[in-house]
Amino acid sequence: MPTLSATEIAFLMVACQQAVLALGWAIGAAVVPIDRRSAVQWACYALLTGASVVIFIGASQTKSEELRAVANVCVATGILLMERGVRQFIGRPANGWVYALLMAGVVLLSWLGLTPRYGALRVAAVSGLLAVLCALTAWNIYVYARRDLGLSLGQWLALPLLLGALVFANRGAQAVVSPYTVAAEMAGNSSLDIGSAAVFLVTALVFHLALVALVGVRMTAELRRLSRLDGLTEVFNRRAIEEQLHDEARRVGRSPRPFSVLMIDADYFKDINDRFGHAAGDDALRHLAKIMKAQMRDVDRIGRFGGEEFVVLLPGTASTEALSAAERLRDALLRRPWAWQGESMSLTVSIGVAAWRGPQDEVNALLKRADAALYRAKALGRDRFELGS
Ligand SMILES: Nc1nc2c(ncn2[C@@H]2O[C@H](COP(=O)(O)OP(=O)(O)OP(=O)(O)O)[C@@H](O)[C@H]2O)c(=O)[nH]1
């Protein structure tokens, strides 16, 4: 049995670390709602990195350049899978043939690199490719964190990958600047050095930490999103729409920019529940919310205030346009009847409209005016809207 040097033992520790990480991703994919395909690819990435380390030890023991080339292919395949997993996770997958092509290139270069003449070329090309892949992943993570998750500190998530890109770029640059030194190093000895073990240990670990952090921030963002939504209608819940009203009031501040609210209440809703049952009532509420979403602009915010009552915030909208929006909604409800178990009927709503009066106004006062207008619409016969004064 061959004896292992301290460096080889350090490399073996990296292999064990990667096996634990692969197991972590496999368990994570089973118990946490992570994107399964990404988790499997990240588990494979860890396994390939671990395998490459063991193969590097074998190459060092046997002085085999072929084994070393196989280990390098494992490293490159792992990074490719890591990048592919990130792309799938953030919803921007690349074509499979791009990866197949890159893999073929890596294998070809590794095979060519067995000839001392091409050794430095292989190191430069493969390291360059891995540097580009890491930098691309860092960029994708950064953009996803900033744009999709609204995280202002997205650069911290991308930083480990950027450092990895620098490590690979440095190795590639060495091969370009001093190809003879790199070629001689490769031809002369296949032994491992403690520096490479340390680089492996740190980069492989921080890459996985970045991936775990990416999963964590997305889950936190998703929980936050869900905590602001009404489960039945998937519009904002009362707390969230009230927050948005206060935000809008703060945003317009002392400027003359208008905004308005619609307070919408379904008419005779109790009859629907009594006649068709509670499940039908729920479905009617979903129908109402769907029509509101279709009628309102992207900038408008819809919230369920409670029961069968909704509030819509209309930014940049004065009372005249808000009355038009109310009319539009009323029309849409007439045009798109609600269907339930073969029966079809038009739902009607009563709407109270109120406009922001400027810096001296208050959100609670605005809602009270909308509520009073809604009450008037109900009293005047329902299926109509009134402007709060
Ligand atoms: N199915 C269902 N019903 C709900 C929900 N929330 C509130 N309701 C029902 O909505 C009905 C509201 O009744 P009322 O306040 O009397 O109002 P209405 O029958 O619409 O009469 P007007 O508002 O005066 O036109 C009640 O029967 C509540 O049980 C819900 O989430 N699902």
Question: Which residue owns the Cα nearest ligand 1 atom 13?
Answer: 270
Helix (H, G, I), strand (E, B) or coil at 346: coil
347: pLDDT confidence band, cut at 50, 70 and 90? very high
User: Are the beta carbons of 154 and 141 closer than 8 angstroms?
Assistant: yes
pLDDT, one tens digit per residue, over 229-243 is 999 999 999 999 999
Among 308, 347, 383, which is best to mutate for testing ligand 1, by the most ligand atoms less than 8 A from CB? 308
270 lines ligand 1 (CB under 6 A): yes
What integer pLDDT is reported at residue 138 of this predicted model?
A: 94
What integer pLDDT is reported at residue 49 of this predicted model?
A: 92
What integer pLDDT is reported at residue 199 of this predicted model?
A: 76
Q: What mean pLDDT do residues 310-335 have?
A: 96
Statement: residue 311 has pLDDT above 60: yes
Statement: residue 364 has pLDDT above 60: yes
Among 238, 270, 333, which is best to mutate for testing ligand 1, by the most ligand atoms less than 8 A from CB? 270
CB atoms within 10 A of CB 226: 11
What integer pLDDT is reported at residue 193 of this predicted model?
A: 64
Q: How many alpha carbons lie under 13 Å from residue 101 in its C-beta half-sphere?
A: 5
187: pLDDT confidence band, cut at 50, 70 and 90? low
CATH code of the domain occupying 238-387: 3.30.70.270
Statement: residue 190 has pLDDT above 60: no
Statement: residue 188 has pLDDT above 70: no
Q: What mean pLDDT do residues 185-209 have?
A: 72
109: left (phi over 0), alpha (psi -120 to 50) or beta: alpha
65 lines ligand 1 (CB under 6 A): no
Q: How many residues does the chain have?
A: 389
In the chain, where the domains are located: 6-227, 238-387
Statement: residue 56 has pLDDT above 90: no
pLDDT, one tens digit per residue, over 62-103 is 888 888 889 889 999 999 999 999 999 999 998 889 999 999
d(CA 216, CA 200): 24
Q: What mean pLDDT do residues 175-200 have?
A: 68
What integer pLDDT is reported at residue 186 of this predicted model?
A: 65
What integer pLDDT is reported at residue 4 of this predicted model?
A: 75
ipTM metric: 0.96
Structure tokens at 6: 């301290």
This prediction has a pTM of 0.75
**Better-predicted residue by pLDDT, 235 or 155:** 235
267 lines ligand 1 (CB under 6 A): yes
What integer pLDDT is reported at residue 172 of this predicted model?
A: 86
Q: What mean pLDDT do residues 340-365 have?
A: 93
Which ligand 1 atom lies nearest to the CA of residue 266?
A: 20
348 lines ligand 1 (CB under 6 A): no
d(CA 193, CA 153): 36
What integer pLDDT is reported at residue 184 of this predicted model?
A: 67
User: Are the beta carbons of 347 and 266 closer than 8 angstroms?
Assistant: yes
